[in-house]
């Protein structure tokens, strides 16, 4: 039984190493309401294709107030190490500062997170 567990876990460990090679170049950004969030996703290993997704997670700011819900799919080709992306924010009334998060996932596994502060 231990052999089966270790055989099962080995691909997971090697997959995590590949996944951890992908990250946001920043951990937090600040933008003015109504402006675009510009960010970069970097990859350290580029010897195989890789698909990742960026989704939005609410913080103090929510869908329809600070951002439109969307999912972006990134496809890295062999040799490609960087993707520059843009996500719009919405203009909202008031002087509040609200935030939300961009989640970077590969095969459903959260790899990195970027906090976006909107004011």
Instruction: Kindly tell me if the per-residue pLDDT of 1 is higher than 90.
Output: no
Tally Cβ neighbours within 10 Å of residue 56.
22
pLDDT tens figures, 25-38 = 999 999 999 999 99
The CA distance from 65 to 75, in Å, is: 29
3-state secondary structure the chain: CHHHHHHHHHHHHHHHHHHCCEEECCCEEEECCCCEEEEEEEECCCCCCEEEEEEEEECCCCECCCECCCEEEEEECCCCCEEEEEEEECCCCCCCCEEEEEEEEECCEEEEEEEEEEC
pLDDT tens figures, 52-88 = 999 999 999 999 999 999 999 999 999 999 999 999 9
Fold of 2-118: Immunoglobulin-like (2.60.40)
Please report the pLDDT score of residue 19 as a whole number.
Answer: 54
Please report the pLDDT score of residue 45 as a whole number.
Answer: 87
Angle of CA points 25, 15, 23, to nearest 5°:
5
Enumerate the domain spans of the chain. 2-118
């Amino acid at each position: 039984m231990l052999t089966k567990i270790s055989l099962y876990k080995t691909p997971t460990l090697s997959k995590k190493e590949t996944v951890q090679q992908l990250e946001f170049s920043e951990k937090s950004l600040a933008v003015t309401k109504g402006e675009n969030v510009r960010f970069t996703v970097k990859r350290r290993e580029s010897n195989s294709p890789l698909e990742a997704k960026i989704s939005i997670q609410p913080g103090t700011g929510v869908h329809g107030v600070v951002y439109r819900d969307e999912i972006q799919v990134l496809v890295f080709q062999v040799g490609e190490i960087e993707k520059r992306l843009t996500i719009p924010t919405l203009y909202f009334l008031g002087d509040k500062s609200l935030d939300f998060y961009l989640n970077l996932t590969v095969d459903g596994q959260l790899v990195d997170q970027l906090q976006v502060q909107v004011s």
